């Protein structure tokens, strides 16, 4: 175990490591500047659990209705050897009729062990490239692997299609609707970056077999219900941008040591479970440990990160909590009391100083509000 | 509304908050306990309301109940005579109609379409286990068993596919082209069966549409699907795949004979096939 | 440099001949200073002489006057029409050309072989006037909906523009059209190509403006797929400073660095500031002033003996209007009103000897889409013939690294390249070799 | 956003109470607005689960769908909704739709999209009124994008346009939180009220998305109960299950209903801005036009704009947005303050005036009064170079003739033109008098004509040529909704 891994293990404590999945890797791009998130993810900490334990449960849960719809839609698209999907691929990418193979990689002869499935996937995909005929067309739930911050994350794309112009195409099946050719931009963005994760992983998996990266198309296929029906429709999504972002983020995680170096030695987020596995650690103590890791809170975290409520509470009284735009408009001044002191002229920084212009800006804003509302700000 | 009802509602609200925290914290045990409590409270609440209602004497004959959701599993189980038939026979009927391995969902749809009764797909998994058990106890005691289709490469049970023990082995082998071939064969069988129906039925039509939509060369936007066209189109594509597919299936069928009887019907588990091979 | 000149000439000639064969038209991508106007003038004259009347569509009156002047000077006996809005005062430089007619009604210019006007003016032309040919200048800055209003006036068209510059924008939310092939927000070229995919896209391969020191960096960061080279070689452009440094001072180091290498990055201490960062503003003004104080002389293929760099040949570029305003005030204070100070949007298409730019991300805590837009940076980095000095607070690389990439993605909407985030990274990586720290 | 608004946010944080950022109300409130709170089923494509609506705080109508995945039940819901909404539009001469938040607008738009192409006869027929409902819902949600319209209002938007909360725009999307900041219950600070509003059990989300825990713990078991009761055919059990289901949904909707009307009252208390009335009249014209269009058997709104329609809509929105921005600035000193912050306007007190000044330099003598004012705003170069207008006298143009700094204040003399009557002596009051506070801005609310565009059938080759004739297709009517 390398020094880094040891350090990360100490941070995580006795809890089992949470391994990355496409969603968590995609989330890295949401707030890459946040050391707290980077370290907790790299260490495989169960953020959901930790946040709740410290009294700040994450604001988002999953509705069983949504889950059900998701699984039902994927099942429908993949029913009878993915007949529905095959039709889409034929129409959408004029897949030739003989290309109708369907390989189920959900298990290997009943065995669902990840390493076994990973091996089987690589073998199947590799032969698909190398052998000429009968190469296989659709690979259901192949298992891929990506190295994230020194640890392997197993990834499971919905499906990979091959032999579309001799290239692999990642197929992402999502249950949000595409209505009149357009869908929720944020959901598509999510899907796009997740697909990019798969493209990257697939390229890595095949690199070992001397397969060129371009063999995996950076154009992925998004399959969603059409309009208000449950009929599937396919759209190509160009993930070149997402790939560049992702590569950069992953290389930054690799540099996790720099972040670890800044931590107080011996810092751990261990819950200190007793014999029965019941946590004994004082929530306050845990929270203090978390606060020892720098966070970069922005309101957008509320939609993406399990730690958001803790960080938001920590950010009380800062302009960051009001949003990126507001902080910018308040002259980049860090916290609210300081803003108000400057606005009221209680604090007059010397000319040309750091705060001089911010002060001037805030004073004139305050003056205008006072003049119009007839009461001092 | 009565005092106890209000009291109950307060309690329910409190329970929900607690449950929410537990659920989010991943405290599964606690969540389960709370959930049970909550259910109890809610049932009590319902009953209280019911009493009020009964007091008010609100009666309504069963018949006037709004039509329930069609999508629910086991929908209409009780409404049709076919439901009296045991599950394994329902499955057998459907499989015999299709003549190829199929997944529970499809079998249920087929049975609903042609034998006027459907069955909960969830129960099929247990059916397969029962069949294997009874075969192990007394091999070949029954005229037929609902058994597994086997993945051609490892001869392990192919996920979710059912077959009939009396079929020739090669029909139960699943190569990478077999799902498509079997889909096309099923389409043809379904079309034929509809042709034999005295009158069209909605479920049957829905089933046919589902096939037709995924076979190239069948116009589906018209109000009715042309049976002959479905058969012809399916035949046409079938010719493209059949040779390659049966080559793989036959080869697998040869290998499967090397397995013991149970494995031949219910598949080898991971690793086993090498032992016996 | 002959080779590059020939390269450029061949490209231009091919484009001109391709017009004859073109069924619908031709698109020409032109990197900064690659002779776009020259091409427009030659194409207009060529078509006119072949007996086909031409309408020329530019985006601003400034541009129209400029093209009219060039055309009339190059072809004095060509009947040229200047279509203008009421209340337009003919630019002085047009006065000399007696074959140039100015009119507010297109009908009054029917006898002209070439008629030039702004897109907005053309959009007001009514009736069934039609031209066999149109030449659309700065077509990447023209919005699809504006093209829609003038397109019925011509049968075939030559679209010329710089794909690396700023995209058209709108003040209203335009998501509802995302993914439509006729999305009114995209550029005239984009909409044209999406409906006429077989229209040929050609490129001018050589920049006459950018020096050998700038072309590769700008090409790599902002034109990753097409690419271009400088017409002039390393030795052909020189910037010499007659006066000695006024003291060992960061400003002078920056000026010397820029004179020598063609680039300089003036780095101020890292700090989050208001937009009109006083220190940065002063630095920009001081740099412009310092070049003049040091008696900068420019030597180029055009002035082998060298000419002094005057204030009007120096520009300061910013991202925001208030920043430009602040710099202007400082320079006015030192009596340097001739130095051109403006935002990227308004500097588009202009050319100077020396460019001083305030980096859009300088002092920002968060990078917004506006600050990251590749076009904005590209405009500022590609105006100069000799040298470009970038003023920025330290810490931009970290800012870029921490930038969340969470913009919504719309289906069937072509991905815009280069990506602003990538372009910024690449450009900054290049600049870092020329860093000078202030104060 | 702007520094002024962000500063208000900062103050709100300190005082734990939302701060006003407008002095007048820029959105119109109808006498009887229709409050509409839709809930959607999680995961489905805009499947209605329930809705609470009505134009009278005292009587809310609750509609529910026991099985949102069932096509017939969805259309039954749509039909019931049509009954209420269409009736409302008919009876109220000034219809206005108010939903809790922008997501509510999206839901309405999609509900309109999923119903307006349906047919009420032949195969795949739907109940009468459904397609008509679809066309009206589409109409309202398209007006929402219209910068000058108040026909459809998202309550969170209306509130945060007039008050700055002590939280971020992300959190401002929650009606409960915003209302908490603006109007906390007694004994609570705004901050506390907003925090409390984050517990979905205390304060259910304002929809259309429901609280996942509610879905899992409350709704799902009750749906199941209804289904089983239906299967067993036990009518009494079915009714009870159905009632329990409705009551569960009522617990989610009733609190939101109350909040919506509280918010309406809050907004009513703010005096209406000057230009609102006129914009509302335009709104009502649009309603009349749409009703007429339907009456004449015109087709439903297209799925998406064609090339020409898109260009026209964009041009209108840009034009009108500009116009409305100016109107707001003229109506509201706090909005004008934004212009003063950026040097696009200045305000000061008149210290000297020559109301009768006549300029004889030209061919004919013209009335050109001059007034001098002292301002502490900074008067930028570009402002002194351009034509100015004053909110007090919109028809009058002003130009800076001299500008002298005096300490941190400055004396500006402007020359006036127009809006003073025909003669050489100004109509009384038409020239600012000494002592009056006046404001001059680089904006004017002069009307611009909409651009000339080709007819759709003349769409040029650059934009794909003429589009195919629109004919409501079968599959639009058939398009399954399940």
Looking at the predicted structure, is the pLDDT value of residue D384 above 90? no
Q: Is B173 helix (H, G, I), strand (E, B) or coil?
A: strand
Neighbours of B145 (CB within 10 A): 23
Min Cα–Cα distance to chain A from C404, Å: 5
Looking at the predicted structure, is the pLDDT value of residue B166 above 90? yes
Is A289 or B4 the better-scoring residue by pLDDT? A289
Min Cα–Cα distance to chain D from A147, Å: 32
- What pLDDT does residue C340 have? 96
Residue contact B151–A104, C-beta within 8 A: yes
Highest mean pLDDT, choosing among A21-35, B34-48, B187-201 = B187-201
Q: Which helix (H) or strand (E) holds A11?
A: helix A3-12
Show the DSSP H helices in A208-282 as ranges: 240-254, 256-261
- What pLDDT does residue D479 have? 59
Q: Is C151 on the interface with D (CB under 8 A)?
A: yes
CA distances to A368, B12, C191, D383, D465 from C195, in Å? 52, 61, 6, 44, 9
Q: Is D360 on the interface with B (CB under 8 A)?
A: no
* B57 — pLDDT class (breaks 50, 70, 90): very low
For residues C80 and C101, is the Cβ–Cβ distance under 8 A? yes
- What pLDDT does residue C2 have? 59
CATH class (in words) of the domain with range C2-207: alpha beta
Looking at the predicted structure, is the pLDDT value of residue C1 above 70? no
- What pLDDT does residue D476 have? 56
Looking at the predicted structure, is the pLDDT value of residue B6 above 90? no
What are the pLDDT digits (tens) for D107-125?
999 999 999 999 888 777 8
Min Cα–Cα distance to chain C from A324, Å: 7
A206 & A333 share domain: no
Min Cα–Cα distance to chain D from C126, Å: 9
Min Cα–Cα distance to chain B from D192, Å: 18
- What pLDDT does residue B20 have? 73
Q: Which of C151-160, C172-181, C340-349, D378-387 has the lowest mean pLDDT?
A: D378-387
Q: Which of A160-164, C18-22, D118-122 has the lowest mean pLDDT?
A: A160-164
Structural domain including A365 reads: 319-373
Looking at the predicted structure, is the pLDDT value of residue B52 above 90? no
Q: Is C168 helix (H, G, I), strand (E, B) or coil?
A: coil
Residue contact A357–C274, C-beta within 8 A: yes
Please, what is the average pLDDT of chain A? 89
Is B196 or B174 the better-scoring residue by pLDDT? B174
Q: Is C360 helix (H, G, I), strand (E, B) or coil?
A: coil
Please, what is the average pLDDT of chain D? 92
Alpha-carbon distance of D52 to D54, in angstroms, equals: 7
Residue range B181-186: average pLDDT?
A: 97
Looking at the predicted structure, is the pLDDT value of residue B68 above 80? no
DSSP type of residue A322: G
Looking at the predicted structure, is the pLDDT value of residue C88 above 60? yes
* D234 — pLDDT class (breaks 50, 70, 90): confident
CA distances to B15, B235, B247, D17 from B239, in Å? 63, 6, 14, 75
Residue range C1-22: average pLDDT?
A: 85
Omega before C439 cis (within 30°)? yes
Highest mean pLDDT, choosing among A101-110, C294-303, D99-108, D381-390 = D99-108
For residues C133 and C159, is the Cβ–Cβ distance under 8 A? no
For residues D464 and C181, is the Cβ–Cβ distance under 8 A? yes
In a domain? residue A360: yes
Written as six digits, the tokens of D326 are 């100016």
What are the pLDDT digits (tens) for C388-423?
999 999 999 889 888 887 789 999 999 888 888 889
For residues D322 and D482, is the Cβ–Cβ distance under 8 A? no
Residue range C152-164: average pLDDT?
A: 95
Looking at the predicted structure, is the pLDDT value of residue B30 above 90? no
Q: Which residues pair with D347 in a beta bridge?
A: D439
Alpha-carbon distance of A175 to A74, in angstroms, equals: 8
Looking at the predicted structure, is the pLDDT value of residue B106 above 90? yes
Question: C-alpha angle D192/D194/D199, rounded to 5°?
Answer: 100
Looking at the predicted structure, is the pLDDT value of residue C72 above 50? yes
CA distances to A362, A368, C285, C322 from C274, in Å? 11, 19, 18, 11
Q: Is C148 on the interface with D (CB under 8 A)?
A: yes
The sign of the torsion formed by the CA atoms of A37, A39, A43, A45 equals: negative
| Cβ-nearest to C401 among A184, A186, A252 | A252
Q: Give DSSP secondary structure letters for A53-80.
A: HTT---S----HHHHHHHHHHHHHHHHH
Omega before B4 cis (within 30°)? no
- What pLDDT does residue B24 have? 67
The reply to whether C2-207 and C215-437 are identical in fold is yes
- For residue C189, which residues of chain D lie inside 8 Å, CB to CB? none
DSSP type of residue D300: P
Q: Is B122 on the interface with A (CB under 8 A)?
A: no
Out of A204, A222, A249, a domain closes at A249
Q: Is D197 on the interface with A (CB under 8 A)?
A: no
A357 & A228 share domain: no
| Cβ-nearest to B69 among D70, D232, D242 | D70
Of chain D, the percentage scoring pLDDT greater than 70 comes to 97
Q: How do C352-358 and C340-343 pair as beta strands?
A: unpaired
Alpha-carbon distance of D347 to D260, in angstroms, equals: 38
| Cβ-nearest to A189 among C179, C398, C408 | C408
Q: Which of B84-93, B260-269, C352-361, D219-228 has the lowest mean pLDDT?
A: B84-93
What are the pLDDT digits (tens) for A230-266?
899 999 999 999 998 888 888 877 678 888 888 998 8
Residue range D440-453: average pLDDT?
A: 82
A75 & A186 share domain: yes
In a domain? residue A184: yes
Interface of D with A in 4-33 (CB under 8 A): 4-11, 13-14, 20, 23
Residue range B21-42: average pLDDT?
A: 76
Q: Which residues have CB under 8 Å from A199's CB, separation 6+?
A: A170, A216, A217, A218, A220, A239, A243
Written as six digits, the tokens of A216 are 């995996």
Phi, psi of B254 (to 5 degrees): -60, -45
Residue contact C172–D318, C-beta within 8 A: yes
Written as six digits, the tokens of C290 are 């310092």
What are the domain boundaries of chain C? 2-207, 215-437
* B55 — pLDDT class (breaks 50, 70, 90): very low
Residue range C136-161: average pLDDT?
A: 95
**CA atoms in the 13 A half-sphere facing the CB of A157:** 33
Looking at the predicted structure, is the pLDDT value of residue D322 above 80? yes
Q: Which of C195, C320, C337 to mutate to test the interface with D (most CBs of D within 10 A)?
A: C195
Residue range C351-363: average pLDDT?
A: 96
The enclosing domain of A105 has a CATH number of: 3.90.320
The sign of the torsion formed by the CA atoms of A236, A241, A242, A246 equals: positive
A213 & A323 share domain: no
Residue of chain C with shortest Cα separation from D317: C172
**CATH superfamily name and code, C215-437:** P-loop containing nucleotide triphosphate hydrolases (3.40.50.300)
Domain count of chain A?
2
A227 & A324 share domain: no
Out of A191, A226, A249, a domain closes at A249
- What pLDDT does residue B66 have? 36
Q: Is D200 on the interface with B (CB under 8 A)?
A: yes
CA-based nearest residue to C412, from C192, C196, C184, C182: C182
- What pLDDT does residue C32 have? 95
Looking at the predicted structure, is the pLDDT value of residue B2 above 60? no
- What pLDDT does residue D214 have? 94
Q: Is D201 on the interface with A (CB under 8 A)?
A: no
Residue contact D231–B63, C-beta within 8 A: no
Q: Is B176 on the interface with A (CB under 8 A)?
A: yes
* Helices D235-269 & B28-56 angle (0-180, nearest 10): 100
What ipTM is given for this predicted complex?
A: 0.88
Residue range D233-260: average pLDDT?
A: 95
Show the DSSP H helices in C267-395 as ranges: 278-293, 321-333, 344-347, 369-372, 374-381
Min Cα–Cα distance to chain D from A190, Å: 16
- What pLDDT does residue D471 have? 61
- What pLDDT does residue A134 have? 63
Written as six digits, the tokens of A244 are 């560049």
């Amino acid at each position: 175990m390398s020094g880094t891994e040891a350090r990360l293990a100490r941070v995580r404590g006795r809890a089992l490591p949470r391994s990355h999945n496409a969603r968590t890797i995609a989330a890295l791009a949401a707030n890459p500047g946040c050391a707290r998130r980077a370290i907790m993810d790299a260490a495989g900490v169960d953020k959901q659990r930790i946040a709740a334990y410290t009294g700040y449960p994450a604001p988002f849960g999953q509705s069983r209705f949504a889950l059900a719809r998701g699984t039902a839609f994927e099942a429908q698209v993949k029913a009878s050897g993915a007949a529905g999907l095959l039709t889409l691929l034929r129409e959408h990418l004029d897949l030739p009729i003989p290309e109708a193979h369907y390989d189920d990689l959900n298990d290997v002869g009943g065995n669902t062990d990840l390493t076994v499935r990973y091996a089987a996937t690589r073998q199947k995909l590799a032969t698909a490239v190398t052998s000429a005929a009968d190469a296989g067309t659709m690979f259901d739930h192949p298992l891929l692997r990506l190295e994230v911050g020194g640890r392997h994350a197993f990834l499971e794309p919905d499906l990979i299609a091959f032999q579309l112009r001799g290239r692999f195409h990642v197929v992402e099946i999502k249950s949000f609707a595409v209505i009149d050719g357009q869908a929720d931009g944020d959901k598509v963005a999510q899907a796009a970056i997740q697909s990019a994760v798969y493209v990257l992983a697939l390229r890595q998996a095949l690199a070992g077999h001397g397969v060129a990266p371009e063999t995996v198309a950076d154009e992925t296929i998004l399959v969603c219900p059409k309009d208000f029906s449950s009929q599937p429709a396919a759209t190509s999504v160009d993930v070149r941008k997402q790939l560049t972002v992702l590569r950069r983020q992953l290389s930054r995680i690799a540099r996790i040591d720099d972040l670890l170096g800044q931590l107080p030695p011996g810092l751990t987020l261990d819950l200190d479970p007793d014999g029965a596995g019941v946590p004994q650690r004082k929530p306050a103590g845990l929270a203090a440990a978390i606060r020892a890791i720098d966070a970069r809170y922005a309101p957008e975290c509320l939609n993406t990160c399990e730690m958001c409520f803790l960080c938001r509470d920590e950010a009380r009284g800062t302009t960051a909590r009001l949003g990126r735009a507001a902080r910018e408009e308040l002259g980049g001044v860090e916290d609210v009391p300081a803003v108000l002191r400057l606005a009221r002229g209680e604090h007059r920084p010397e000319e040309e100083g750091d705060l001089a212009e911010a002060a001037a800006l805030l004073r004139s804003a305050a003056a205008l509000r006072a003049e119009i509302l007839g009461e001092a700000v | 509304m009565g005092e106890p009802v209000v009291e109950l509602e307060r309690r329910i609200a409190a329970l929900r908050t607690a449950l929410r925290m537990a659920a989010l914290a991943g405290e599964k045990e606690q969540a389960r306990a709370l959930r049970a409590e909550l259910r109890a409270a809610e049932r009590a609440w319902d009953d209280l309301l019911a009493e009020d209602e009964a007091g008010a004497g609100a009666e309504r004959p069963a018949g006037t109940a709004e039509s329930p959701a069609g999508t629910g599993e086991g929908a209409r189980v009780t409404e049709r005579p076919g439901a009296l038939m045991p599950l394994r026979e329902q499955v057998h009927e459907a499989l015999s109609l299709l003549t190829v391995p199929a997944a529970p969902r499809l079998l249920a749809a087929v049975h609903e379409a042609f034998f006027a009764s459907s069955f909960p797909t969830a129960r099929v998994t247990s059916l397969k286990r029962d069949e294997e058990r009874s075969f192990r106890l007394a091999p070949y005691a029954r005229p037929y068993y609902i058994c597994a289709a086997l993945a051609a490469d490892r001869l392990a049970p192919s996920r979710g596919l059912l077959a009939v023990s009396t079929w020739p082995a090669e029909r139960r082998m699943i190569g990478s082209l077999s799902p498509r071939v079997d889909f096309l064969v099923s389409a043809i069988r379904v079309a034929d069966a509809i042709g034999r129906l005295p009158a069209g039925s909605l479920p049957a039509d829905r089933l046919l549409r589902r096939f037709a939509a995924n076979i190239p060369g069948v116009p589906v936007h018209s109000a009715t699907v042309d049976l002959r066209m479905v058969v012809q189109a399916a035949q046409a594509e079938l010719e493209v795949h059949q040779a390659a597919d049966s080559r793989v299936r036959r080869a697998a069928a040869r290998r499967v004979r090397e397995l013991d009887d149970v494995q031949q019907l219910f598949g080898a588990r991971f690793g086993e096939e090498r032992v016996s091979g | 440099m002959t080779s590059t000149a020939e390269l450029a000439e061949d490209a231009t000639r091919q484009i001109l001949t391709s017009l004859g064969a073109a069924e619908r038209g031709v698109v020409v991508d032109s990197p900064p200073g690659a002779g776009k106007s020259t091409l427009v003038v030659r194409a207009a004259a060529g078509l006119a002489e072949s007996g086909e009347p031409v309408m020329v569509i530019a985006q601003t009156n400034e541009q129209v006057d400029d093209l009219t002047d060039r055309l009339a000077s190059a072809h004095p006996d060509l009947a040229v029409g200047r279509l203008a809005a009421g209340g337009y005062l003919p630019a002085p430089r047009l006065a000399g050309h007696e074959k140039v007619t100015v009119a507010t009604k297109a009908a009054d210019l029917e006898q002209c072989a070439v008629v030039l006007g702004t897109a907005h003016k053309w959009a007001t032309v009514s009736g069934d006037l039609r031209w066999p040919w149109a030449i659309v200048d700065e077509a990447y800055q023209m919005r699809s909906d504006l093209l829609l209003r003038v397109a019925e006036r011509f049968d075939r068209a030559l679209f010329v523009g710089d794909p690396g510059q700023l995209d058209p924008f709108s003040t209203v939310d335009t998501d509802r059209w995302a993914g439509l092939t006729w999305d009114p927000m995209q550029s005239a070229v984009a909409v044209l190509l999406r409906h006429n995919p077989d229209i040929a896209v050609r490129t001018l391969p050589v920049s006459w403006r950018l020096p050998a020191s700038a072309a590769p960096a700008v090409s790599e960061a902002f034109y990753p797929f097409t690419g271009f080279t400088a017409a002039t070689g390393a030795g052909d452009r020189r910037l010499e400073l007659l006066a000695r440094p006024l003291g060992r001072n960061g400003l002078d180091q920056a000026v010397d660095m820029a004179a020598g290498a063609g680039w300089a990055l003036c780095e101020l201490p890292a700090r989050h500031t208001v937009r009109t960062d006083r220190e940065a503003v002063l630095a920009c003004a001081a740099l412009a002033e310092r070049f003049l104080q040091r008696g900068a002389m420019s030597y180029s293929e055009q002035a082998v003996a060298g000419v002094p760099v005057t204030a009007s040949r120096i520009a300061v570029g910013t991202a925001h209007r208030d920043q430009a305003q602040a710099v202007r005030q400082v320079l006015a204070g030192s009596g340097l009103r001739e130095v051109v100070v403006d935002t990227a949007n308004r500097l588009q298409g202009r050319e100077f000897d020396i460019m001083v730019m305030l980096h859009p991300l300088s002092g920002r805590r968060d990078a917004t889409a506006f600050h990251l837009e590749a076009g904005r940076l590209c405009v500022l980095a590609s105006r100069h013939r000799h040298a470009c000095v970038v003023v920025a607070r330290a810490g931009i690389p970290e800012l870029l690294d921490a930038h969340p990439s969470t913009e919504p993605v719309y289906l069937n909407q072509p991905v815009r390249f280069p990506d602003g985030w990538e372009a910024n990274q690449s450009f900054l990586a290049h600049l870092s070799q020329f860093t000078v720290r202030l104060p | 956003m702007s520094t002024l608004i962000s500063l208000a946010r900062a103050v709100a944080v300190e005082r734990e109470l939302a701060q006003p950022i407008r002095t007048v109300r820029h959105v119109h409130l109808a006498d009887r607005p229709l409050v509409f709170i839709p809930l959607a089923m999680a995961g489905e494509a805009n499947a209605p689960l329930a809705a609470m609506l009505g134009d009278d705080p005292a009587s809310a109508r609750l509609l529910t769908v026991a099985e949102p995945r069932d096509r017939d039940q969805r259309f039954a819901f749509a039909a019931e909704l049509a009954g209420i909404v269409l009736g409302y539009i008919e009876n109220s001469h000034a219809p206005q739709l108010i939903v809790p938040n922008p997501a509510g607008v999206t839901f309405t738009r999609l509900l309109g999209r999923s119903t307006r192409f349906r047919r009420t006869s032949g195969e795949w027929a739907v109940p009468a009124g459904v397609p008509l409902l679809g066309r009206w819902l589409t109409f309202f949600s398209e007006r929402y994008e219209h910068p000058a319209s108040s026909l459809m209002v998202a309550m969170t938007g209306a509130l945060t346009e007039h008050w700055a909360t002590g939280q971020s725009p992300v959190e401002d999307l929650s009606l409960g939180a915003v209302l908490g900041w603006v109007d906390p219950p007694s004994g609570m600070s705004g901050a506390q009220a907003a925090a409390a509003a984050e517990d979905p059990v205390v304060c259910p989300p304002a929809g259309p998305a429901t609280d996942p825990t509610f879905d899992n713990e409350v709704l799902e078991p009750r749906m199941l109960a209804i289904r089983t009761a239906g299967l067993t055919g036990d009518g009494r059990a079915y009714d009870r299950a159905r009632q329990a289901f409705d009551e569960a949904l009522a617990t989610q909707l009733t609190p939101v209903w109350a909040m919506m009307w509280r918010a309406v009252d809050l907004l009513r208390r703010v005096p209406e801005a000057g230009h609102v009335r006129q914009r509302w009249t335009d709104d009502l014209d649009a309603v009349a036009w749409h009703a007429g269009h339907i009456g004449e058997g015109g087709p439903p709104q297209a799925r998406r704009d064609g090339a020409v329609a898109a260009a026209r809509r964009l041009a209108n929105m840009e034009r009108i947005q500009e116009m409305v921005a100016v109107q707001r600035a003229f109506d509201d000193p706090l909005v004008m303050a934004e212009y003063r912050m950026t040097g696009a306007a200045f305000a000061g007190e008149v210290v000297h005036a020559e109301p009768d000044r006549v300029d004889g330099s030209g061919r004919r003598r013209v009335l050109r009064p001059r007034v001098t004012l002292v301002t502490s705003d900074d008067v930028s170069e570009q402002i002194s170079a351009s034509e100015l207008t004053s909110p007090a006298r919109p028809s009058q143009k002003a130009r800076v003739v001299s500008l002298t700094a005096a300490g941190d204040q400055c004396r500006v003399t402007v020359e006036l033109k127009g809006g003073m009557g025909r003669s050489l002596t100004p109509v009384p009051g038409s020239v600012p008098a000494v002592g009056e506070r006046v404001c001059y801005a680089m904006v004017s609310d002069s009307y611009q004509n909409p651009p000339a565009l080709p007819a759709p059938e003349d769409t040029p080759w650059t934009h794909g040529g003429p589009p195919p004739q629109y004919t409501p297709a079968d599959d639009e009517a058939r398009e399954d909704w399940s």
